[in-house]
Amino acid sequence: MTALLEIEKLTVQFGSATLTDRILRRRARVLRAVDDLSLTLEQGEALAVVGESGCGKSTLARAIVGLVPIASGRVHFDGMDIAGGRDRSTRRRIQMVFQDPGSSLNPSLTVRNTLAEVLKVHSMVPADRIGERCAELMDLVELPPAILDARPQRLSGGQKQRIGIARALAAEPDLLIADEAVAALDVSVQASVLNLLRQLRHRLGLTLLFISHDLAVVRNLCDRVAVMYLGTVVEESNTEEVFGNPRHPYTRALLSAVPRIGVKKTSGEAALAGEPPSPLALPLGCRFHPRCPIAAEVCRIEEPLLESRQQHAARCHFAWESTEPITIGEQP
Amino acid sequence: MVEGRMSKPLLIVEDLRVEINRHGSIVTPVDEVSFELQQGEILGLVGESGSGKTLTLKALMGLLPPGVVQVGGSISSRSGDVLQPLDPEKARGRIMAMIFQEPATALNPLRRVRDLIAEPFIVGHGVARNEARAKAVALMRAVGIPDPEQRSRAYPHQLSGGLRQRVMIAMALATESTLLLCDEPTTALDVTIQDQILGLLVELKRERDLTLVLVTHDLAVVSELCDRVAVMYAGRIVETGATADVFANPGHPYTAALLAAVPRFEPGGGDLTTIGGSPPDLRNVPSGCRFRTRCQYAFEECATAGHRLTHVADERQTACIHPAWIERGVAI
């Protein structure tokens, strides 16, 4: 396998010195949404980025597509450096599906015009073949061609999300980034959109970066998982390894917090106490230590590195202390 | 254990019908809804968007939005040994309180947290302001808000989503209601915070002998928390029973289909089972069983069958008239 996307020490930050800051000669408050993050995406694989709100997963997606500026770090796509900007043909090769199809589709355009716009901008097909290609795209996302003449307002949530996917596929991308693409859908609709994504991925040989907070969905769809906490990756490996043998205490807490069918909650005990600290004031040492059940002195002082053992990386001082497998939730 | 309770329902809802009259066309988002709520239980009302679960809850609370009216059915509540018609205006804030989905919009942004929580004490029980504030701080501690004295002076926007939801729960407790109606209380929260709030509800229920109705779309949350579940489809309850029974052995094809569509937290990522078609447009519902157009077991009689929940086993009712499903129910 070759790497399609290589991210090295990526930092994305928001906020710079305001006028007031400059007058008062204050230091600007800077929020590091993505902090020194490295990640590799192999050709053809589906990588999930999971984490809770504010962990920076969406910012990471937006930085890869070029919707937010990158403060520092390297982003290589198919061997090209795209951190500083990219040409139209590279832009075409990375497409995104957004969370809320209701607000990410232009309400005044018919589905046909939405798709045709992409086909024209990227000169995907000759002008006389646009209609034909639109019909093919509808077929690809399993919608009846009659929908081409509808505006988004008339479509259901599931149909709109399929149009969102068709619009991304119109550009024939190599890398598809789905940012919480099924989070807003009802479970029966979600199931069919997940099935569609899986089929498309194999049929078109897409590489998929799937951003989600829903661990059950991720386990169903993705080959590899990266867990993010406060802007950085704290654990990364293939899906079964992360779910079956989590080495980071945050991953373990996340997994045992997921409600499961058939498991009744009988006590008030929570998997994880407290809430994540503000990304404006990151704790010293390990950024997870204030909530960590196994935090020790070293965790307050020294930030752990992302350490790998057999293609399983975890950012915890104690990740590899014992090599016994840890299972979550399998016990009665 | 259930026997004793069965004879003393706290709330009886019979044939509840809610209508929306829009430009002369009438739709019925809640139709022929009947259920009993036992003292001390957690009942889950579960269904997809548009199934009528939230409107059912709002009808109980007397908080139907403008233009939406209860046109039929009765709601009675028990006080002592007497069952009497429930007057939501009088019951609200005395015997029952509601917890809303989105604490960010449900809390008055202009008032400090301590005053929000103190208000029911002052208005409902005539407690003096200072004493009410002290009680508010005590309640904030009881719902697990750290530094309650300091936090009590905060405004809602200064708190995180999880803390805001705890404030809302404290407000409900301040009314000294023993019946809490919760509308998707954890849907807007992250999974580790959801885990905390669900645990809090379990603890409070036990400590204060509360009865809870929980409206949610999340079957796993129902499974974790609810003693009994009522599954809604297109405005009607299609199945009720003990949660563990219903989920282990569904007695209605819709319940079975819904359960099969949920990505399970298990290894392996095959295609998910989907439900063909989409929920009916409420302006044009199928005759007879409303699920029949999507049901793979439908036969002729389904088109003419009246809606009736039939007892198939203790505590177990299904609206399905198909013998195979009724047999399955009886077999439990």
Amino acid B331: pLDDT: 42
* pLDDT tens profile A302-332: 999 999 998 999 999 999 887 565 555 443 3
pLDDT at A242 over 90: yes
Give the single-character DSSP code of B92: B
How is the beta sheet containing B25-38 ordered, strand by strand? B25-38, B9-22, B68-79, B82-85
H-assigned helices in chain B:
2-6, 53-61, 88-91, 103-106, 113-125, 129-142, 148-151, 161-174, 191-208, 219-225, 243-248, 253-261, 323-330
Residue spans per domain, chain A: 45-63+84-244, 246-257+283-332
Q: pLDDT per residue over A205-237, tens digit each?
A: 999 999 999 999 999 999 999 999 999 999 999
**Residue B146 and residue B288: Cα distance in Å, rounded?**
53
Tens of pLDDT, residues A59-106: 999 999 999 999 999 999 999 999 888 888 899 999 999 988 888 899
Question: Of A105, A103, A99, A101, which is closest to residue A118 (Cα–Cα)?
Answer: A105
pLDDT of A299 reads 94
**Long-range CB contacts for residues A276-282, cutoff 8 Å, separation at least 24:** A276/A52, A276/A54, A276/A55, A276/A229, A276/A230, A277/A230, A279/A31, A279/A32, A279/A33, A279/A54, A279/A56, A279/A230, A279/A231, A280/A29, A280/A30, A280/A31, A282/A32, A282/A35, A282/A230
Average pLDDT over residues B181-206: 93
Backbone angles phi, psi at B52, to 5 degrees: 100, 5
CA distance B61 to A22: 53
A280 reaches B (C-beta below 8 A): no
Look at residue A289 and tell me whether its pLDDT is greater than 90. Answer: yes
Q: Is B269 in Cβ contact with A268 (below 8 Å)?
A: no
Q: Is the pLDDT of residue B61 over 60?
A: yes
Q: For residue B322, how many other CB atoms are within 10 A of its CB?
A: 20
Q: State phi, psi for A259 to the nearest 5 degrees.
A: -70, 145
pLDDT at residue B330 greater than cutoff 70 = no
Structure-token pair, residue B276: 């063909």
Helix (H) or strand (E) holding B35: strand B25-38
Distance separating alpha carbons of residues B182 and B168, to the nearest angstrom: 10
Is the pLDDT confidence value at B90 over 60?
Answer: yes
* Mutate which: A187, A197, A221, A222, vs B, most B CBs within 10 A: A187
Using pLDDT thresholds of 50, 70 and 90, give the confidence band for residue A201.
very high
pLDDT at residue B329, rounded to an integer: 53
Is residue B2's pLDDT more than 50? no
What fold does the segment set B2-95+177-330 form as a domain?
Rossmann fold (3.40.50)
What is the percent of chain B with per-residue pLDDT over 70, rounded to a whole number?
A: 95
Return d(Cα B289, Cα B34) in angstroms, integer: 16
Residue entry with tokens 């409070």: B204
Partner-chain contact B221 A259, CB within 8 Å: yes
pLDDT above 80: residue B6: no
pLDDT confidence band for A139 (50 / 70 / 90) = very high
Where is pLDDT greater, at B154 or B7?
Answer: B154
Q: pLDDT-based confidence at A266, cuts 50/70/90?
A: confident
- Asked if residue A12 has pLDDT above 60, the reply is yes
Q: Min CA distance, A291 vs chain B (Å)?
A: 11
Cβ atoms within 10 A of the Cβ of B94, count?
15
Q: Which of B328, B327, B329, B322 is nearest to B296 (CA)?
A: B322
| pLDDT score, position B5 | 43
Whether residues A264 and B224 touch (CB distance < 8 A) is answered with yes
Of A187, A219, A272, the CB nearest to B217: A187
Please give the pLDDT value at position A332.
Answer: 32
Per-residue confidence (pLDDT) for residue B310, from 0 to 100: 87
Q: pLDDT at position A24, please?
A: 83
- Residues A35-46, mean pLDDT to the nearest whole number: 94
Q: H or E stretch including B20? A: strand B9-22
pLDDT at A110 over 50: yes
A45-63+84-244 CATH: 3.40.50.300
For residue A176, give both structure tokens: 């598809």
pLDDT score of B131: 95
| Chain A interface disruption, residue of B51, B196, B249, most A CBs within 10 A | B196
Helix, coil or strand: residue A271: coil
In tens, the pLDDT along B289-311 reads 999 999 988 888 999 988 999 88
Mean pLDDT of B130-141: 95
